[in-house]
């Protein structure tokens, strides 16, 4: 009935009005549930619902049951703002979102202005996957918390690994032509120049976002450049088609990627038959020798047909519970203060902390390769039979980057 | 490019010449392959759009249906059966759509038809999502075609791409023969160039339209079955294709199959060559003076030809419509 | 005084097919001139050339001594020439009143005005009402033109043609497909509306032609074979052979 | 005024008719003022604001499609550019403390739309029909793609944001709270609607209709159809720019989605669904489509399916749009025969609704099995709970679907008969008169 009520209160404003009693803690999940981005949004939604069930089984947060309110933003920033308004109307004080930095930027901006204009009704925005560095730098906000490592932090971790890998000599950068691709590319250039000046950047390509059906010309360029390593932030179709075209043309290089683990990524790698040639940088992988996270992974896979894409979502949910306990309240302002600077034992093991200066979470980062498995790797991905193998672990303190954030705290 | 070798210096020149040659050969090959893929997808639309005048926005959806039917049938009976059955299924759906959807809408004009296909595209996408889910499915190239056909300049060209090329050419040839040599083809061709005349000739225009729509959607499905394994078979593949197919049809010229063929090749080649070029204004004229470095002028200055490659077809579309409204080989105005 | 319409050595071909071979024609001011000839002789093409629908392949069209060939139709219309069409060509979704009003707007100097209320323009209103009364469609004022009967649509067609006040009027088979009684009414209408203006008319009905025209030109296979008063044409042996003979056979 | 004009021309509006006419606008204004007092929640205000923006945008689109017969696939270009310029303007004005208050800012958007309409319109409007449609498609793709490449101006993927409260204040209004934005949008909506209505009543407006009906004939009454189309295009761009500006003020952000194909598609939908043949059609369509797109996704997971089906149904069964459907009844209402038809509607509606219910039930159950197989089988569709696992569901939905279809088909035939009878009565009256 809730959904109907909410829609009715919106569509037929006659029925709207009073907010409902607060015996639940509502978290507005604003991500694409229809259209092109829906496959990713749906996985995120089910992950959060699974996490809510976990919290509720332990008695909820501060005695309140957690409820995930799904809101479809169709990956459109304007639509996200409407959904956020809608969520707030129905009593939501926490919203979470991850797909698309454009959406995250708009939401962070919206929440900041909303809180400024509606004191006493503050709303917090938990970002679990939008990685544009600007959100915790120039455009940082007190009301925004990010659990995913931003793209610069990931590049810091990746280049720290590349620093120790002498076999890398010629690097080719290929990225999607939008802000994320741009930041991957510029971070890679500046960090590699600082850490491994001997590495040659033999190519630096930006291609249009989700518009290329044939990557053969790009592969021809990579091949001509003599690269041994390709670094790419590509995701979705742009990732899958890139790898397929590479395999078709017989290109033999190592791939360092951000989103090889995304939906369809493992399938594409298997189809391209790039056994342990594709590496991903992530805050966790299923095949880590860490019994609690393996148990969680098993339980999730038993219920749904996907693996845990978002270890950071687990951290987000669990830290919310701890912060609320610490603040003895679910009031967003108090929870926000409790979250600032909090240290936390992360899902995959190891220390993480929420930096007070910019609300960026720092955690151990893993480099893993995808391919055939040994008995040390119990989990495969997307029914391919292949799985992730740990290559290197970068500790949280080795991923710390300075921030330009000048946080404005509420007085 | 080839110069007589006389001294060590010319050998050096030849080395860069060889790289140039390699780039040209490979880009041409890639361009032809991509162009033929475009033609494969657009051939059905040419027939429908030219003859019925219907801006079929659901064409890409039939292409997607073809891919998913192909995926499902190849699981059960293998790829080759799928290549035969899936287009027939999609074509049958196309026939039904024409008979029970488009025909009643037809008398309300082109905008109504267009909106009908708009709505249809939504419905097909959602039905595909309900049946096959939102994630990509694992649609593989048949193992009998999964090997490199030949290697040029150490770049492999897989047999499957050659197969795609052959199918495109075969469809082109078959359509041309049907149009030129058969009775029904002649009627259809007459309808392509003079859509209002055929009704006066006493032919059952309704049946012809139904047939044309069925064939057009079946061709889209053939493209789907063939492109599915090579690209990503996912419920958003129709949306991602975008309006590029309309560009092919309009640039080629309404009512002209050879036009669509030429336009596909042209767009394929232009795009591929554009991608292989790194030139930009800053490359040509040197970097912008620092005074303008952070203005919008810097954006234009720094854009490479490769970056704008996907816009090129639309520039072509606008220019063609302004200066040659009948398209490259068209017989009547758009 | 120069002729109202003058065609000088007009040639027109489509592709390689010549339609008009060498047309010289002069229509004096205030004259009622009929253009006759068998089907396919090029009468409609001649009209299309005069009204600016096509440009001639060579030669020139003069309107009151001024060259107008090559100008777009609206320019020629603004210089005082208006035409009707063989196939009824009205604004089908608009009412009879709106049809006539649109035909009046330019000549009353409204141009592309977007700051005036169209219902508050007395001159437009006056002239539209006058034409409406003239073509006897007052009762059908608010009916969409597409729903009128055939004869009514033909009357409206003539109304639109003359509404702008052009002093050179071209009518393309105004009575085609009409019954005898309807034709008579139409001829009376044409006679009245073109009073004091120059009229060039294409017509197949010989009784209309000989009843209405001051002068007649005969067009056969893209050439004018004779021009003269009705009596002269009646007696012309070439016309008899090429045209009337054919009619008889 | 001469005698002939008074007897033959359509009568000029009487004083009462004039009063009625102006009264209508005053009533609309009063309703707009009172609306927030009835529905004051933040969500309702946002909805109303969005509806207002959508109304302006749809009406501006109908200047092209309904009035001039130009099918555009790229109308969002002018909407989006208006939005971007306004965001930049707010930032510049705020930074330099210029004495320009927010309420006049939409004019900047309008002028932007006008400027780009004038710039791109001349080539676009050279032809009508499919050629125009395709040019608009090409231009839209060009501009939308450029928006992602020219990052400095368009802000890349994230877009450009602004703070509307940092401007010069009048009447002490900060324009922070949504209620103030609502009033701003409402005022502009009223102004724009009146202006666009007035435009249809001018010589240019009438020539637009003439160009739509018969561009060839227009040339022979002295008008250049290209110029008429071009002017219509400029006006349409102007009002689209105002709509875009209001959207930018409402969201305080502009990004490339403003310019995109989806935005262009939505406005086409709204105008057509509402009915392009009537001035109020796009208004109805804007309200309907906005509410549908906001509300439907909360009611069901597969809202796109229903969205598509609704559009197909409208195109198939109500080609004149919602307004066309309602206006069909006007002659019956005048003839007083409407009551004869209404009972047959009721008879037809019941089985039709049953059929729809059966369809929805079947769809939602299938969705439960294919999309959410692991979830609890007690699900809700449109707020109605049921157990998807129960086998009787299939029987019920089949009975509703098939039974409803069979009965409905018969009943709609009866509706048509009743209709014809009622309409013929009206026609006879007309003839008698």
Domain ranges of chain A: 2-149+294-362, 152-282+364-399
- Say how many C-beta atoms besides its own lie within 10 A of residue D94's C-beta: 17
| Element containing residue A192 per DSSP (H, E) | helix A179-195
Mutate to test the interface with D, among C52, C74, C142 (most CBs of D within 10 A): C74
Residue showing tokens 């071909």:
C13
D432 pLDDT above the threshold of 60: no
Lowest mean pLDDT segment, chosen from B172-176, D271-275, D429-433: D429-433
- Please give, rounded to a whole number of angstroms, the shortest distance from the CA of D123 to a CA of chain B: 7
Please answer yes or no on whether A249 and B240 come within 8 Å at the CB atom: no
| Cα A311–chain centre separation | 9
Q: Please state the pTM of the whole predicted model.
A: 0.91
- Please give, rounded to a whole number of angstroms, the shortest distance from the CA of B37 to a CA of chain A: 9
- Please give, rounded to a whole number of angstroms, the shortest distance from the CA of D40 to a CA of chain B: 34
D1 pLDDT above the threshold of 60: no
Chains with 3 or more CB pairs closer than 8 angstroms to A?
A: B, D
A147 pLDDT above the threshold of 90: yes
In order of start, what are the domains of chain D with their CATH numbers? Answer: 39-314 (1.10.3470), 330-432 (no CATH)
C144 to A76, B112, C164, C220: CA distances (angstroms): 45, 22, 20, 39
Instruction: Enter the tokens of residue D219.
Output: 């040339």
Please answer yes or no on whether D157 and A86 come within 8 Å at the CB atom: no
Using one digit for the tens of pLDDT, what is the confidence trace for A8-31? 444 443 333 334 444 799 999 999
The answer for D 153-172 residues in CB contact with A (under 8 A) is 156-159, 161, 163, 165
- Give me the residues of chain C with pLDDT under 70, please: 1, 243-249
Cα–Cα distance measured from residue C34 to residue C36, given in angstroms and rounded to the nearest whole number: 6
> What is the per-residue pLDDT for A93?
95
- Classify A98 as helix, strand or coil: coil
Partner residue facing C98 (CB), from D1, D204, D206: D206
- The secondary structure of chain B in percent helix, strand, coil, rounded to multiples of 5, reads 75, 5, 20
Q: Does D146 touch chain A (CB under 8 A)?
A: no
Angle made by CA atoms A304, A309, A314, in degrees to the nearest 5: 90
- Say how many C-beta atoms besides its own lie within 10 A of residue A142's C-beta: 20
DSSP strand pairing (C58-63 vs C5-14): antiparallel
- Yes or no: say if A272 and A282 are a contact pair by the CB < 8 Å rule: no
A138 to A133, A404, C133, D201: CA distances (angstroms): 9, 6, 75, 52
Q: Does domain A2-149+294-362 have CATH number 3.30.365.10?
A: no
Phi then psi for residue B2, to 5 deg, are -80, 125
Beta partners for C60?
Answer: C8
The answer for C 130-149 residues in CB contact with D (under 8 A) is 130, 132-133, 138, 141-142
Please answer yes or no on whether D161 and A102 come within 8 Å at the CB atom: no
Phi then psi for residue A201, to 5 deg, are -85, 105
Partner residue facing C94 (CB), from D213, D219, D231: D213
Selected from 3.30.300.30, 3.40.190.10, 3.40.50.2300, 3.60.20.10, the CATH number assigned to the domain covering A152-282+364-399 reads: 3.40.50.2300
Cα–Cα distance measured from residue A159 to residue A235, given in angstroms and rounded to the nearest whole number: 20
Q: Does B299 touch chain D (CB under 8 A)?
A: yes
> What is the per-residue pLDDT for C245?
55
Please answer yes or no on whether B318 and D142 come within 8 Å at the CB atom: yes
Please answer yes or no on whether D308 and B123 come within 8 Å at the CB atom: yes
Please answer yes or no on whether D202 and C118 come within 8 Å at the CB atom: yes
DSSP strand pairing (A24-31 vs C215-220): unpaired
The answer for A 287-326 residues in CB contact with D (under 8 A) is 303-304
Using one digit for the tens of pLDDT, what is the confidence trace for D380-394? 777 778 887 888 888
Could you tell me how many residues make up chain A? 411
C92 to A52, A298, C156: CA distances (angstroms): 64, 71, 11
- Yes or no: say if A90 and A26 are a contact pair by the CB < 8 Å rule: yes
Could you tell me how many residues make up chain C? 249
In order, the DSSP letters of A310-352 are -HHHHHHHHHHHHHHHHHTS--HHHHHHHHTT-EEE-TTSSEE
Domain residue spans in chain B? 28-239, 243-334
Q: Does C106 touch chain D (CB under 8 A)?
A: yes
Q: Does domain C5-248 have CATH number 3.40.50.300?
A: yes
Q: Does B81 touch chain D (CB under 8 A)?
A: no
D374 pLDDT above the threshold of 80: no
Q: Does D39 touch chain A (CB under 8 A)?
A: yes
Partner residue facing A39 (CB), from B34, B135, B310: B135
Cα–Cα distance measured from residue B102 to residue B118, given in angstroms and rounded to the nearest whole number: 12
Mean pLDDT of D44-64: 96
- Say how many C-beta atoms besides its own lie within 10 A of residue D312's C-beta: 20
> What is the per-residue pLDDT for A2?
44
Contacts of C168 in chain D (CB under 8 A): none
- Residues in CB range of B317: below 8 A, 6 or more apart: B247, B250, B251, D134, D135, D137, D138
Phi then psi for residue C26, to 5 deg, are -135, 130
Give the torsion sign (CA, D62, D65, D69, D75): positive
Partner residue facing D149 (CB), from A100, A105, A177: A177
Mutate to test the interface with D, among C119, C129, C141 (most CBs of D within 10 A): C129
For chain D, give the percent of residues with pLDDT over 70.
97
Mutate to test the interface with D, among C102, C128, C133, C146 (most CBs of D within 10 A): C102
> Do chains C and A meet with 3 or more Cβ pairs nearer than 8 Å?
no
The answer for C 67-96 residues in CB contact with D (under 8 A) is 72-74, 77-78, 82-83, 85, 89-94
Which is nearest to D188 in space by CA: D146, D152, D239? D239
Q: Does B299 touch chain A (CB under 8 A)?
A: no
Using one digit for the tens of pLDDT, what is the confidence trace for A233-280? 999 889 999 998 998 888 989 999 999 988 889 989 998 899 999 999
Using one digit for the tens of pLDDT, what is the confidence trace for B99-156? 999 988 888 888 888 889 989 998 999 999 899 988 888 888 888 888 888 888 777 8
Partner residue facing A3 (CB), from D178, D253, D299: D299
Mean pLDDT of A189-212: 90
Which is nearest to D233 in space by CA: D206, D208, D197, D264? D208
| Element containing residue B63 per DSSP (H, E) | helix B59-77
| Longest Cα separation, chain B | 76
Burial class (CB in 10 A: 0-12, 13-18, 19+), B159: middle
- Residues in CB range of D54: below 8 A, 6 or more apart: D243, D267, D270, D286, D287, D289, D290
Cα–Cα distance measured from residue D220 to residue D174, given in angstroms and rounded to the nearest whole number: 55
Please answer yes or no on whether A211 and B242 come within 8 Å at the CB atom: yes
Contacts of B19 in chain A (CB under 8 A): 224
């Amino acid at each position: 009935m809730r959904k109907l009520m909410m829609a009715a209160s919106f569509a037929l404003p006659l029925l709207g009005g009073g907010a409902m009693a607060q015996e639940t803690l509502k978290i507005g999940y604003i991500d694409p549930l229809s259209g092109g981005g829906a496959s990713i949004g749906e996985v995120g939604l089910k992950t959060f619902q699974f996490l809510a069930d976990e919290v509720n089984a332990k008695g909820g947060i501060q005695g309140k049951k957690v409820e995930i309110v799904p809101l479809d933003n169709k990956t459109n920033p304007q639509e996200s703002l409407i959904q956020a308004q809608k969520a707030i109307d129905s009593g939501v004080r926490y919203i979470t979102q991850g797909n698309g930095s454009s959406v995250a930027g708009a939401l962070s901006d919206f929440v900041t202005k909303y809180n400024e204009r509606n004191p006493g009704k503050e709303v917090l925005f938990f970002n679990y996957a939008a990685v544009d560095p600007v959100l915790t730098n120039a455009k940082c906000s007190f009301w925004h918390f990010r659990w995913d490592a931003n793209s610069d932090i990931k590049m810091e971790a990746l280049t720290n690994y590349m620093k120790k890998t002498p076999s890398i000599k010629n690097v080719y950068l290929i990225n999607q032509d939008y802000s994320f691709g741009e930041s991957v590319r510029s971070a890679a250039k500046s960090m590699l120049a600082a850490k491994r000046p001997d590495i040659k950047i033999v190519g630096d390509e930006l291609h249009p976002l989700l518009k290329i059906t044939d990557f053969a010309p790009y592969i021809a360029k990579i091949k001509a450049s003599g690269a041994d390593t390709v670094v790419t932030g590509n995701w979705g179709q742009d990732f899958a088609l890139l790898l397929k075209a590479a395999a078709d043309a017989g290109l033999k290089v190592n791939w360092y990627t951000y989103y090889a683990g995304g939906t369809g990524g493992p399938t594409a790698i298997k189809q391209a038959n790039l056994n342990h040639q594709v590496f991903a940088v992530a805050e966790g992988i299923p095949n880590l020798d860490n019994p609690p996270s393996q148990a969680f992974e098993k339980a999730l896979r038993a219920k749904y047909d996907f693996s845990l894409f978002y270890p950071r979502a687990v951290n987000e949910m669990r830290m919310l519970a701890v912060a609320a306990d610490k603040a003895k309240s679910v009031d967003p302002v108090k929870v926000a203060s409790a979250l600032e600077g909090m240290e936390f034992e992360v899902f995959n093991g190891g220390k993480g902390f929420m930096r007070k200066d910019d609300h960026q979470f720092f955690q151990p980062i893993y480099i893993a390769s995808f391919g055939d498995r040994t008995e040390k790797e119990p989990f495969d991905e997307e029914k391919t039979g292949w799985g992730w193998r740990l290559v290197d672990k970068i500790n949280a303190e080795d991923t710390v980057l300075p921030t330009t954030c000048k946080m404005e705290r509420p007085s | 490019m080839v110069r007589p070798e006389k001294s060590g210096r010319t050998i050096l020149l030849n080395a860069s010449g060889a790289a140039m040659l390699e780039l040209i050969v490979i880009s041409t090959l890639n361009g032809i392959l991509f162009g033929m893929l475009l033609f494969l997808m657009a051939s059905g639309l040419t027939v429908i759009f030219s003859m019925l005048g219907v801006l079929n926005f659901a064409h890409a959806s039939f292409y997607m249906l073809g891919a998913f039917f192909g995926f499902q049938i190849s699981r059960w009976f293998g790829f080759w059966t799928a290549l035969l059955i899936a287009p027939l299924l999609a074509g049958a759906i196309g026939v039904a759509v024409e008979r029970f959807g488009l025909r009643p809408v037809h008398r309300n004009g082109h905008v109504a038809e267009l909106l009908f296909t708009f709505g249809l595209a939504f419905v097909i996408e959602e039905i595909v999502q309900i049946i096959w889910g939102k994630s990509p499915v694992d649609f593989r190239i048949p193992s009998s075609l999964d090997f490199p056909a030949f290697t040029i300049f150490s770049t492999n060209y897989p047999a499957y791409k050659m197969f795609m090329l052959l199918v495109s050419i075969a469809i082109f040839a078959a359509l041309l023969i049907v149009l030129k040599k058969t009775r029904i083809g002649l009627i259809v061709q007459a309808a392509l160039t003079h859509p209002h005349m055929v009704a006066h000739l006493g032919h059952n225009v309704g049946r012809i339209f139904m047939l044309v729509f069925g064939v057009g959607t079946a061709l889209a499905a053939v493209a789907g079955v063939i492109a599915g394994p090579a690209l990503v078979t996912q419920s958003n593949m129709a949306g991602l294709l975008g309006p590029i197919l309309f560009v092919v049809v309009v640039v080629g010229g309404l009512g002209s199959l050879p036009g669509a063929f030429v336009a596909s090749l042209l767009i394929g080649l232009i795009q591929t060559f554009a991608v292989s070029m790194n030139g930009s204004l800053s490359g040509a004229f040197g970097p912008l003076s620092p005074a303008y470095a952070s203005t919008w002028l810097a954006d234009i200055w720094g854009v490479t030809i490769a970056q704008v490659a996907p816009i090129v077809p639309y520039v072509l579309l606008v220019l063609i419509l302004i200066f040659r409204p009948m398209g490259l080989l068209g017989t009547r105005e758009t | 005084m120069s002729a109202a319409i003058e065609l000088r050595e007009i040639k027109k071909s489509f592709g390689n097919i010549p339609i008009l071979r060498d047309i010289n024609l002069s229509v004096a001011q205030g004259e009622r001139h009929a253009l006759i000839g068998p089907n396919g002789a090029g009468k409609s093409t001649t009209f299309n050339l005069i009204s600016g629908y096509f440009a001639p392949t060579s030669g020139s069209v003069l309107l009151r001594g001024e060259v107008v060939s090559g100008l777009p139709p609206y320019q020629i219309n603004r210089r005082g020439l208006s035409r009707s069409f063989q196939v009824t060509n009205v604004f089908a979704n608009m009412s009879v009143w709106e049809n006539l009003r649109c035909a009046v707007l330019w000549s009353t100097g409204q141009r592309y005005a977007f700051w005036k209320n169209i219902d508050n323009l007395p001159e437009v209103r006056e002239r539209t009402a006058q034409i409406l009364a003239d073509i006897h469609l007052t009762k059908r004022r608010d009916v969409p033109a597409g729903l009128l009967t055939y004869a009514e649509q033909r009357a409206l067609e003539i109304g639109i043609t003359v509404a702008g006040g052009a002093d050179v009027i071209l009518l393309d088979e105004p009575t085609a497909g009409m019954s005898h009684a309807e034709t008579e009414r139409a001829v009376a209408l044409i006679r009245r509306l073109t009073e004091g203006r120059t009229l060039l008319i294409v017509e197949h009905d010989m009784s209309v032609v000989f009843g209405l025209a001051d002068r007649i030109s005969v067009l056969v296979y893209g050439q004018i074979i004779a021009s003269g008063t009705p009596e002269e044409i009646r007696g012309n042996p070439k016309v008899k052979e090429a045209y009337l003979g054919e009619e008889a056979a | 005024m001469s005698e002939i004009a008074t007897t033959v021309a359509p009568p000029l509006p009487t004083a009462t008719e004039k009063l009625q006419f102006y009264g209508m606008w005053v009533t609309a204004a009063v309703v707009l003022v009172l609306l927030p007092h009835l529905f004051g929640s933040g969500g309702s205000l946002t909805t109303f604001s969005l509806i207002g923006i959508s109304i302006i945008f749809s009406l501006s689109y109908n200047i092209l499609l309904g009035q001039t017969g130009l099918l555009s696939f790229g109308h969002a270009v002018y909407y989006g550019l208006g939005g971007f310029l306004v965001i930049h303007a707010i930032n510049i004005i705020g930074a330099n403390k210029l004495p320009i208050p927010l309420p006049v800012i939409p004019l900047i958007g309008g002028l932007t739309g006008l400027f780009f309409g004038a710039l791109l319109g001349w080539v676009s409007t050279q032809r009508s029909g499919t050629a125009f449609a395709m040019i608009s498609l090409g231009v839209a793709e060009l501009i939308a793609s450029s928006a992602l490449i020219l990052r400095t101006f368009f802000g890349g993927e994230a877009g450009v944001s602004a703070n509307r409260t940092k401007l010069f204040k009048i009447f002490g209004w900060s324009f922070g709270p949504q209620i103030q934005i609502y009033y701003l949008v409402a005022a502009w909506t009223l102004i724009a609607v009146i202006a666009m209505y007035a435009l249809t009543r001018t010589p240019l407006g009438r020539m637009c209709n003439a160009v739509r009906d018969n561009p060839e004939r227009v040339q022979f009454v002295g008008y250049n159809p290209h110029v008429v189309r071009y002017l219509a295009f400029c006006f349409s761009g102007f009002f689209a720019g105002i709509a875009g500006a209001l959207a930018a003020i409402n969201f305080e952000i502009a990004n490339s989605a403003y310019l995109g194909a989806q935005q262009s598609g939505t406005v086409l939908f709204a105008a057509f669904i509402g009915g392009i043949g009537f001035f109020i059609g796009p208004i109805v369509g804007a309200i309907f489509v906005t509410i549908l797109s906001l509300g439907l996704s909360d009611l069901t997971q597969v809202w796109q399916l229903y969205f598509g089906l609704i559009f197909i149904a409208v195109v198939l069964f109500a080609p004149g749009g919602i307004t066309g459907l309602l206006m069909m009844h006007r002659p019956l209402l005048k003839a007083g025969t409407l009551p004869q038809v209404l009972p047959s509607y009721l008879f037809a509606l019941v089985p039709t609704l049953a059929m729809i219910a059966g369809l929805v039930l079947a769809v939602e159950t299938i969705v439960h099995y294919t999309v959410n197989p692991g979830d609890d089988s007690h699900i809700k569709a449109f707020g109605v709970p049921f157990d998807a696992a129960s086998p009787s569901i299939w029987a019920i939905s089949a009975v509703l679907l098939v039974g409803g279809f069979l009965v409905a088909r018969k009943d709609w035939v009866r509706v048509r008969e009743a209709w014809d009878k009622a309409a013929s009565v009206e026609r006879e009256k007309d003839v008698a008169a």
